[in-house]
Amino acid sequence: MVEWRDEAIVLGLGRHGESSAIVSLLTRAHGRYRGLVRGAYGKNGRGVLLPGNRVAAWWRARLAEHLGALRCELVDAHAARVMADAGRLDALAAACALCEAVLPERQAHGATFESLTALLSGLEAEAWPSIYVHWELALLRDLGYGLDLGSCAATGANDNLAFVSPKSGRAVSLSAGEPYRDRLLPLPGFLVAGREGDKDEIRDGLRLTGFFLERHGLTGGGAGLPAARLRLASRFGADPANLEN
């Protein structure tokens, strides 16, 4: 038998048979993992296996490559705390759906586990939209596609940064980027100024991170951003970036 115990965050579940479910988790040490939870839709499982909830997980299988059986105990009911707020609930669902879409199975991503844990707690703050955009930047870094927003790609200066190059992922200053505005992504000021973003800046932030997540993170043969992420973006008017060639 092969087994492990770990801290985990529920990413999603799908019904399997009458009362069981195949549950997807992001674990601290084992990465994204799936397993069969028997009785998931019964009295004991109700309210535990909601996306965003933190659980203690036990996984066991005869062989390592098998789906395996899961047992989960609730540690922190993040989902219940945001259930009454549609915006925060959209952010929680978007984050879980992105982890499900971009993280490879059974590969440790401890940095994303820690940042997702921080995001789930941060959703209770008034600045949750800004916290969410910063979380997507952290996800890109953990995937190996971090954006360089510290200085201008053309001049090396770190003042008046206003754009991001879609090719390099580097910041571009206002003066250097103005002639190529239609080919660049707007860089919202809150990402470099250490403050909370307003609604327009959150819109631009979601367009920015969404562009690079779709380009680099989603490897499912042309699959777009998950529906939950699109719902969150539409809340701020963040349609997909449409750049001139």
pLDDT at residue 143, rounded to an integer: 94
How confident is the prediction along the chain (245 residues), in pLDDT tens digits per residue? Answer: 899 999 999 999 988 877 889 999 999 999 999 999 998 787 766 789 999 999 999 999 999 989 999 999 999 999 999 999 999 999 999 999 999 999 999 999 999 999 999 999 999 999 999 999 999 999 999 999 999 999 999 888 888 899 999 999 999 999 999 999 999 999 999 999 888 999 999 999 999 999 999 988 775 445 689 999 999 999 999 887 777 54
Among 235, 190, 186, 231, CA closest to 207: 186
Strand 185-186 with 171-173, pairing: unpaired
CB crowding 30-63: b at 16 or more within 10 Å, else e: bbbbbbbbeebbeeebeebbbbbbbbebbbebee
Query: Distance of CA 167 to CAs 40, 161, 172, 236, 245, Å?
Result: 45, 17, 12, 25, 11
What's residue 223's pLDDT?
A: 67
DSSP strands (E only) in 62-206: 69-76, 161-164, 171-173, 185-186
Q: Please name the residue that has the structure tokens 């979601």.
A: 206
Query: Whole-angstrom distance between the N-terminal and C-terminal Cα of the chain?
Result: 55
The domains found in the chain, sorted by start residue, are 2-76 (2.40.50.140), 83-235 (1.20.1440.120)
What's the pLDDT at 147? 96
- What's this model's pTM, rounded to 2 decimal places? 0.93
pLDDT of residue 245: 47
